[in-house]
């Protein structure tokens, strides 16, 4: 059975190449779309996920990261005074205008942090240091956006919101979903860059670290009793809300998921067509097997084994292609992620896709009249 399945599958090399191409095309399309989806979702919440905070306190009604609204600094001190709070930091996020050395203007997202704190810091710093943000006019940008921002080296000077700024370091791989690059500054500088007339006592977010032995949920409840006009989220909750907003409220995620679904449908259709054509080529052989006493389940196993072989080989080729695509994406603006779980899941999906595609052929084989072997 296994031998027949493999020989019939590999015998017609052109047909097998077509089958494999269909599977690879479908799988790569699905991998890229799902990878983009994962990349997008990770990008939308990367500042939250890397914050090392247990809780995020935001102005009431702020549903996601990129729409921060300031509130009174008094709440920051209320938080610090709450039992169970080990550490709290003021944090700012706001859009600003970045004037490049050549005069061109780009939109950016300023992230204001307290340099040297454990919470809310930029990560993957490849040159310079976070500590340098304490210096006057200091900012950190990401290598990915050097060209967009018109800077290449530490020490390059620009203007942000009409204020002088100086690049003191670079991070690697901190992407922005909004296409406005993240630029890190000290909390104080971030206020200057975004709203020169602001009262310095305003804050955008408060990041909270719970004391050892206190759960984030417990601390969240304690803080809720003390603070009015704010929403308090655990870090995973705020991350999830931000991801959900960008992926589903805006439709961006639905678009890539729909494309992935289309890839799956196209894949099933292509593979079904080629497996069906191959089955029809061998239909007399299946009739002979039936006449010889083969049960329907025996014939199903032949077809399913062919489908599984097609899936496994198509998957192997697709993974090689996808590896190159994913590697290339690391240098681009759109991140494509392919975690281990996705790699394993894709193998399952490939097998499911091919076995589903084989169902059409299985249906055909089930209906074969073995008496056909006596005709002509």
366 binds another protein (CB under 8 A): no
284 binds another protein (CB under 8 A): yes
Among 295, 327, 363, 366, binds another protein (CB under 8 A): 295
Is 305:1 a contact under the CB 8 Å cutoff? yes
Q: 361: which residues sit within 8 A by CB, 6+ positions away?
A: 272, 275, 276, 278, 279, 303
Residue 315, both tokens: 């998957």
- Of the listed pieces 49-57, 219-227, 288-296, 312-320, which binds another protein according to CB under 8 A? 288-296
HSE at residue 266, side-chain half, CA atoms within 13 A, is 16
Among 159, 285, 300, 325, binds another protein (CB under 8 A): 285
Is 122:130 a contact under the CB 8 Å cutoff? yes
Is 163:99 a contact under the CB 8 Å cutoff? no
Q: What is the size of the binding site for another protein (CB under 8 A)?
A: 22
Among 4, 131, 214, 317, binds another protein (CB under 8 A): 4
Residue 49, both tokens: 């996920």
- Of the listed pieces 6-14, 21-29, 179-187, 332-340, which binds another protein according to CB under 8 A? 6-14
Whose tokens are 């007399």? That residue is: 284
8 binds another protein (CB under 8 A): yes
288 binds another protein (CB under 8 A): yes
Q: How far is the CB of 19 from another protein (least distance, A)?
A: 16
Q: How far is the CB of 313 from another protein (least distance, A)?
A: 17
252/302 with CB nearer another protein: 302
Among 120, 332, 327, which residue's Cα sits nearest to residue 140? 120
Q: Which of residues 298-327 bind another protein (CB under 8 A)?
A: 298
Tell how strand 105-113 and strand 182-186 pair up. parallel
Is 306:5 a contact under the CB 8 Å cutoff? yes
Distances (CA, A) of 273 to 150, 308, 348: 51, 16, 20
Q: How far is the CB of 4 from another protein (least distance, A)?
A: 6
Among 293, 331, 340, 341, binds another protein (CB under 8 A): 293
290 binds another protein (CB under 8 A): yes
Question: Which residues sit at the interface with another protein, rule CB under 8 A?
Answer: 1, 3-4, 7-8, 11, 284-285, 288-295, 298, 370-371, 373-374, 376
């Amino acid at each position: 059975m296994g031998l027949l399945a493999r020989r019939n599958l590999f015998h017609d090399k052109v047909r097998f190449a077509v089958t494999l191409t269909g599977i690879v095309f479908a799988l790569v399309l699905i991998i890229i779309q799902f990878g983009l989806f994962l990349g997008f979702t990770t990008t939308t919440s990367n500042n939250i996920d890397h914050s090392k905070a247990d809780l995020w306190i935001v102005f009431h009604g702020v549903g996601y990261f990129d729409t921060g609204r300031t509130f009174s600094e008094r709440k920051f001190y209320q938080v610090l005074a709450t039992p169970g709070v080990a550490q709290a930091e003021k944090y700012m996020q706001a859009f600003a205008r970045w004037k490049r050395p050549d005069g061109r203007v780009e939109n950016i997202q300023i992230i204001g942090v307290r340099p040297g704190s454990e919470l809310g810091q930029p990560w993957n710093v490849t040159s310079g240091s976070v500590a340098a943000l304490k210096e006057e006019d200091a900012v950190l940008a990401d290598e990915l956006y050097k060209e967009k921002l018109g800077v290449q080296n530490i020490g390059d000077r620009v203007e942000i919101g009409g204020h002088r700024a100086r690049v003191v370091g670079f991070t690697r791989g901190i992407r922005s979903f909004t296409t406005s690059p993240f630029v890190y500054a000290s909390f104080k500088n971030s206020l200057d860059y975004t709203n020169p007339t602001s009262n310095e006592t305003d804050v955008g977010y408060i990041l909270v670290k719970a004391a050892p032995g206190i759960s984030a949920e417990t601390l969240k409840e304690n803080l809720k009793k003390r603070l009015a006009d704010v929403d308090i989220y655990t870090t995973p909750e705020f991350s999830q809300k931000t991801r959900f907003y960008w992926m589903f409220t805006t439709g961006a995620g639905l678009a890539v998921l729909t494309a992935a679904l289309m890839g799956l449908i196209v894949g099933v259709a292509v593979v079904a067509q080629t497996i069906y054509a191959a089955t029809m080529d061998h239909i007399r052989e299946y009739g002979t097997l039936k006449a010889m006493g083969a049960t329907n389940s025996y014939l199903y196993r032949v077809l399913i084994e062919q489908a599984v072989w097609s899936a496994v080989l198509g998957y192997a080729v697709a993974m090689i292609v996808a590896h190159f695509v994913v590697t290339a994406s690391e240098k681009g603006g759109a991140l494509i992620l392919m975690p281990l779980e996705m790699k394993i899941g894709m193998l399952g999906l490939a097998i499911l896709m091919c076995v589903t595609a084989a169902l059409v052929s299985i249906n055909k084989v089930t209906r074969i009249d073995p008496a056909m072997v006596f005709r002509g």
